[in-house]
Amino acid sequence: MVKFADAVVIGGGIMGASVAHFLAKKGLGAVVLLEKRSLAAVSTGHSAAVIRTFYSNDLTIRLSVKALEMFANGEDALGGDCDFRNTGYICLLGEHTAAAGLAVLEAEQRNHTRAVAVEMDEIGELVPGVNADGIVSGIYEPASGYADPVRTVRNLVTRAADWGLVCYEGVGATRIRLSGDRVTGVETDAGEIRTELVINAAGPWGRQMGLSAGLNYSLRWSRESDLVMRLPDGFGRFPVVSDPNLRVYFRPDGDNGLLAGLSFPKEVEPVDVDAYDPDLDEPTRRRIESGTFKRVPAFRQGEYLKGWASVYTITDDWHPLVGTEPGLEGYYAFFGGSGHGFKLGPPIADSLSDVILGRTPAFDLHPFRPARFIEGEQFASAWGGGNRG
């Protein structure tokens, strides 16, 4: 393992891989990426990887628009084809969610997305076989879709190797070393790397890494589960569907599959990130299937293939922590924000790499600074607390 680096990125999920990619691409120098398991092993690899612009915050919408552009042009923007599938995205609204949906639509139109309101007949055409009970309207995004999260991360890292990125899988960071108020290195379970620049992209372990540098982040962790089914041949095309009324979401999975999970609003299920069961439990499977089958009864014809449980890392406003910490030189945070971290990761990383390099970023990342909470400037949402943004 190398002994010196111009930058060390801790964590091989979408955020770590993205910022390592852009730092290497833009010529920072010797960049090292550390991943204690394998790339995209936890939250990223188990993400539904939906790329949508359905938010009520202007900055989040603009970043999501950029994400759509990047994923649709993965070869040039993200190091390779991310298997982005432009299925479209629809949120089904009921009487109690229509007001929040309208606020989202107004924000999207203010930011020039292609989102439109759709009525019941259009919903029936977009989602064949839909049971419309409880639905009064919908918001549809024709440009949205989903990608392959593991392929995306692998592409980012593999392409950046051409620019000098060194990635160590199976090597975990154990401590950020300081001298006074400066970063001096990273201790790993394979030895120390001397560096003056560390990006903490450790995801669920971001707080643990922060503590080693004297930082105490407010985070929660929640169990997040999904299942995959095989649908009958010729089942037909449908978009990504978010159903806050039945609290489920589902999307196509490849050419003949269905991926489904529990959607906002949902309870936080506290989990120990170092000791959780990665298998889908039966009660959660039944909850997912119940809502999904109720909304589209024909999905009952599908064959259950597999399921899993992973981890959401939740900040106090569900948005990621990005940027420096006052009084600590050479340290950047870049983690949290599960629920939309996959799509936001690459465009934020592109701008963060410019900040690190002293360039003008495409997006002002100041609103994501970790100190926003003590400064009273956290993100709000038309949906109240939760990961819709």
All domains of the chain in start order, with CATH: 87-144+220-314 (3.30.9.10)
Q: How many residues does the chain have?
A: 389
Pairing of strands 89-93, 198-200: unpaired
The DSSP line for 265-304 is S----B--TTS---SPPHHHHHHHHHHHHHHSGGGGGSEE
DSSP state of 107: H
Tell me the three state secondary structure of residue 351: helix
Pairing of strands 257-262, 303-314: unpaired
> Which is nearest to 323 in space by CA: 372, 362, 360?
372
- The predicted pLDDT at position 387 comes to 61
- The predicted pLDDT at position 341 comes to 96
pLDDT tens-place values along the chain, 389 residues long: 999 999 999 999 999 999 999 999 999 999 999 999 999 999 999 999 999 999 999 999 999 999 999 999 999 999 999 999 999 999 999 999 999 999 999 999 999 999 999 999 999 999 999 999 999 999 999 999 999 999 999 999 999 999 999 999 999 999 999 999 999 999 999 999 999 999 999 999 999 999 999 999 999 999 999 999 999 988 999 999 999 999 999 999 999 999 999 998 778 999 999 999 999 999 999 999 999 999 999 999 999 999 999 999 999 999 999 999 999 999 999 999 999 999 999 999 999 999 999 999 999 999 999 999 999 999 998 887 766 66
- The predicted pLDDT at position 234 comes to 85
- The predicted pLDDT at position 299 comes to 97
Tally Cβ neighbours within 10 Å of residue 208: 17
> Which is nearest to 209 in space by CA: 169, 178, 167, 166?
178
The DSSP line for 110-130 is HTT---EEE-HHHHHHHSTT-
* Residues contacting 90, CB < 8 A, separation 6+: 118, 123, 126, 127, 138, 139, 140, 141, 239, 240, 241, 242
- Nearest-angstrom CA–CA distance, 222 and 235: 33
The first and second tokens of residue 229, run together, are: 């089914």
Pairing of strands 182-188, 173-179: antiparallel
CB 150 within 8 A of CB 11: no
- The predicted pLDDT at position 386 comes to 63
Buried b (16+ CB within 10 A) or exposed e, 132-157: eebbbbbbbbbbbbbbbbbbbbbbbb
DSSP count for the chain of H helices, then E strands: 9, 19
Query: According to DSSP H, which parts of the chain are helical?
Result: 14-25, 58-72, 74-77, 98-110, 120-126, 149-161, 206-212, 282-295, 341-356
